[in-house]
Amino acid sequence: MDFSLSGEQQQLRDSVRGWLKSHHGFEHRRAISRSESGWDAATWTAFADDLGILSLADIAVPHDAVTVMVVMEELGEALITVPFLETVVTGAAVLRAAGGEAAQALSDGIIAGDVRLALAWAEPDTRYGWQPRTTRAVREGNGWRLDGLKSVVVGAPWATHLIVSALTDTGTSLFVVAPDAIGVSLMSYPTIDGRRAADVRFEGVVLSGDALLGEEGAALPVLERVGDISIAAMGAEAVGVMRRMLADTIEYTGQRKQFGQPIASFQVLQHRMVDMFMQIEMATSAVYLATLRLEAEPAERARAASVAKVTIGEACRFVGQNAVQLHGGMGMTDDAAVSHYFKRATVIEGEFGTTDHHVERFISVAG
């Protein structure tokens, strides 16, 4: 199994890292997260025009999971404030599975920087299951009528299009819905990590026939695969988040003095930071494995994704809590970058399923 990057992937990583260091520092990120919209439109445009990384959403070419992993790690280290995961990873994975002219048109819009997607799949009583329970779409003439409620739709306030899972006569189906369509209402709110989400209600929303993405009733395995793709990418983001927390902790403990010497010279704290490093390395290996298993048969793919999610969840908690503790009281203040990274790590721990959920999932898949 080869974990090495190609020359092109290394160049892309260096380009993304350099651009983010120049244009997306912590103060910029904090200002954006405090703004009314909560997202950075200028950075999104630069991703399309300058870096070209929105082209990873091109469904006309095979999914390049390793390159996505490389980019996501850098975005995690910069604590980016754009819907890259929601649009270029999760949304594009749905479009790639659906195929067709409508999906390609949305893909082209993402690449140009004009389209932002949000996947509306969770409902108040579904826990982490992909099967919708109350959201339904029924045939009405040549189109559809959509009713239901989706909860915690991350990125919905930023989205130009929602991808909505709903029950139809033949099973679970996916539909493209405009957030400003008649009958769609969003209750938007900030999440603890500075992003934006919404609970979205659909009341008699009239959709055209071509709003259906892919085959009717065939969306459940698509959503399960999209979830695993998203877990692998988000895991790479988590690695970037944790690497930054460790780097900031090493820097801070090298400056903070007690008894006339830097606290980083105390052996017990050195051991603590070594433990943080080991947690990050274990998480990195699990993410690599999950990434390389995305094209495997469903059970193997699911096992690798759940192992990665469990490992990432445990590492995020260990690294985050220790980073904050070693920063002392200031580690919880809004002025300290580590507090923002800790909040994102905390959200990652629960997004797309908690550690406990994925332990149960692994057991069920392993048989």
Supply the CATH number for residue 104's domain: 1.10.540.10
Q: What is the count of structural domains for the chain?
A: 3
Residue 162 sits at the vertex; the CA angle it makes with 124 and 341, to the nearest 5 degrees, is 70
pLDDT at 285 (0 to 100)? 97
Token pair for 292: 């390389």
Q: 124 in a domain, yes or no?
A: yes
pLDDT tens for each residue of the chain, 367 residues long: 566 788 999 999 999 999 999 999 999 999 999 998 999 999 999 999 999 999 999 999 888 999 999 999 999 999 999 999 999 999 999 999 999 999 999 999 999 999 999 999 999 988 889 999 999 999 999 999 999 999 999 999 999 999 999 999 999 999 999 999 999 999 999 999 999 999 999 999 999 999 999 999 999 999 999 999 999 999 999 999 999 999 999 999 888 878 888 877 789 999 999 999 999 999 999 999 999 999 999 999 999 999 999 999 999 999 999 999 999 988 989 999 999 999 999 999 999 999 999 999 999 987 6
Three-state helix/strand/coil letters over 56-97: HHCCCCCCCHHHHHHHHHHHHHHCCCCCHHHHHHHHHHHHHH
> Is residue 143 domain-shared with residue 37, that is, in the same domain?
no
> Is residue 190 domain-shared with residue 275, that is, in the same domain?
no
pLDDT at 90 (0 to 100)? 98
CATH number, domain with residue 196: 2.40.110.10
Last residue of a domain, one of 79, 98, 115: 115
Phi then psi for 198, rounded to 5 degrees?
-155, 150
> Is residue 42 domain-shared with residue 125, that is, in the same domain?
no
pLDDT at 3 (0 to 100)? 67
pLDDT at 1 (0 to 100)? 56
> Is residue 345 domain-shared with residue 306, that is, in the same domain?
yes
> Is residue 111 domain-shared with residue 122, that is, in the same domain?
no
> Is residue 78 domain-shared with residue 55, that is, in the same domain?
yes
> Is residue 245 domain-shared with residue 318, that is, in the same domain?
yes
Q: Quick one: which of 306, 318, 334 has its CA closest to 242?
A: 318
258 forms bridges with which residues in the sheet? 261
> Is residue 248 domain-shared with residue 310, that is, in the same domain?
yes
> Is residue 354 domain-shared with residue 242, that is, in the same domain?
yes
Q: 51 in a domain, yes or no?
A: yes
Q: 1 in a domain, yes or no?
A: no
> Is residue 255 domain-shared with residue 355, that is, in the same domain?
yes
Q: 67 in a domain, yes or no?
A: yes
Q: 227 in a domain, yes or no?
A: yes
> Is residue 127 domain-shared with residue 110, that is, in the same domain?
no
pLDDT at 127 (0 to 100)? 84
Q: 252 in a domain, yes or no?
A: yes
CATH number, domain with residue 300: 1.20.140.10
> Is residue 76 domain-shared with residue 185, that is, in the same domain?
no
pLDDT at 348 (0 to 100)? 98
Last residue of a domain, one of 69, 86, 115: 115
Domain of 353, in residue numbers: 220-366
Q: 41 in a domain, yes or no?
A: yes
Token pair for 312: 């990432």
Last residue of a domain, one of 83, 115, 147: 115
pLDDT at 259 (0 to 100)? 83
Q: 2 in a domain, yes or no?
A: no
Buried b (16+ CB within 10 A) or exposed e, 163-181: bbbbbbeeebbbbbbebee
